[in-house]
Amino acid sequence: MNASEQIGILNVAKPAGVTSRAVVDRVGRALGTRRVGHAGTLDPLATGVLVVAVGAATRLVEYVQRLEKRYRGTFLLGRTSPTDDTDGEVTLLPDALTPTLAAIQAAAAAQVGRIEQVPPAFSALKVDGQRAYALARQGAEVQLAARPVDIHSIDIVRYEYPELELDVRCGSGTYIRAIGRDLARAVGSAAVMSQLERTAIGAFRLTDACPWAEVERDPIGRWLLPIERAVEALPRVTLDEEQIRRARLGQTIALEAPANEAELAAFDASGRLISILTQREPGWWKPAKNLG
């Protein structure tokens, strides 16, 4: 690890009209590094929390991606578009019904839990090695298989037809556009998403995020959060010097830890993240990623 390399987590407030890739590139230029990645793409239309990992923290992106996400989405009922949002060509449904609030509440409740969700055709998922959105733009018929996703809650914030505003808590891989699409279908209508804001990823909240105006000027290093923030959801253990030595050599470590845990975040006595440990057999753990 380069001693001068900047390392940490940056919680960025992404504005509308900017791609997630552009945020990563801007952060990299500001900090003078190419080791930058993000945890969970936001479409250009969307705003809100984009967690950016810098330096060695890029090795921990997967742990941020696992965290619960929270969104505030606005949908227009009685409309369709190929992209399921207003970035596509919007078509009004002829003689569209005006669903009741009770019907919408029932449809929302039916989507809570572990459900099978069909991703939008205009998504970054790959079909035969190509991005689905690229095939869809070429006019190809894109059929994506339903995937299991976890929806923790859907709250109706506001309903003034045709606008429906939802607050959604969900797991990784969930498409909020698809939630609006499927909810509308369940009440005999259709919907396109007109706005989306990610308000949180785990403990990374929009209220604490680095404003985009700050990302556009140097220095932004003061906004970097400790690398340990990426693994706050993992159980934590403290290693002694001998255990740290063994971890750095890739050797197994004997630890008393709950048998039902698959991974541990291992720290030294000062609170510095040393390693991510995986359980190989009861009582024995091996480093999967060494960081300290």
3-class state of residue 215 by DSSP: helix
- Alpha helices by DSSP H, listed for the chain, are 20-31, 61-65, 101-110, 132-137, 176-186, 212-215, 241-248
Among 43, 84, 85, 182, the one annotated catalytic: 43
Nearest alpha carbon to residue 64 among 247, 221, 226, 202? 202
What CA–CA distance (Å, rounded) separates 47 from 242? Answer: 46
Check if 43 is active-site.
yes
Tokens representing 98 are 């005006």
Judge whether 198 and 206 are in contact, CB under 8 Å: yes
Phi-psi region of 159 (alpha: psi -120 to 50; beta: other; left: phi over 0): beta
Active site residues: 43
